[in-house]
Copies of this chain bind each other. A is one copy, B any other.
Amino acid sequence: MPNAERFMDAALAEAEAAGKRGEVPIGAVLVVDNKIVARSGNTTRADHDVTAHAEISVIRKAAAALGQERLTGADLYVTLEPCTMCAAAISFGRIRRLYYGAEDPKGGGVDNGVRFFSQPTCHHAPDVYSGIGEREAARLLTEFFQAKRED
């Protein structure tokens, strides 16, 4: 299996685990030198923290583990297109490459919404690759919200 798919599978596993905890099923891993240095699902409910998106969590975890603020050379894999908040955090963290699964027309900030990486107030933009693991990422979200509506 190519590396990108392998890392996205790890992000999908985090998303699935988040869903089982009652969190919106989105997951992310952060990769440096072909190794996962941080992994997380959404923890907004458990942490009572609107900023605890999977992307923010892996950036914080990786920076703490590596003892450095900027993650130059790091690649982020996340199951859903990052929101505006996370897109800006990815830029601040100097992430090299962003791989995301499904697009998010309602809340995304990369290829939808504010398209932050194309803005003059964005001072670092990662290379962006989308669509890897898209179907599975979208399925997890669709099933989660269907189950919630049926509650």
Contacts and interface: CB of A to CB of B under 8 A. Distances in A.
Interface in A124-143: none
Interface string A77-99: 00000011111110011000000
Q: How large is the interface on A (under 10, 10 to 19, 20 to 34, 35 or more residues)?
A: 35 or more
Interface stretch (A9-17, A33-41, A113-121): A113-121
Contacts of A114: 84, 114, 116, 119, 121
A109 B109 CA distance: 13
Interface in A44-73: 44-45, 47-51, 56, 59-60, 63-64, 66-70
Nearest to A104: B121
A78 to B, nearest CB: 15
16 contacts: A44-B69, A47-B64, A48-B66, A49-B60, A49-B69, A50-B89, A51-B59, A51-B92, A83-B88, A83-B121, A85-B85, A85-B86, A107-B121, A108-B121, A109-B121, A114-B116
Interface of A: 44-45, 47-51, 56, 59-60, 63-64, 66-70, 83-89, 92-93, 106-109, 112-114, 116, 119-123
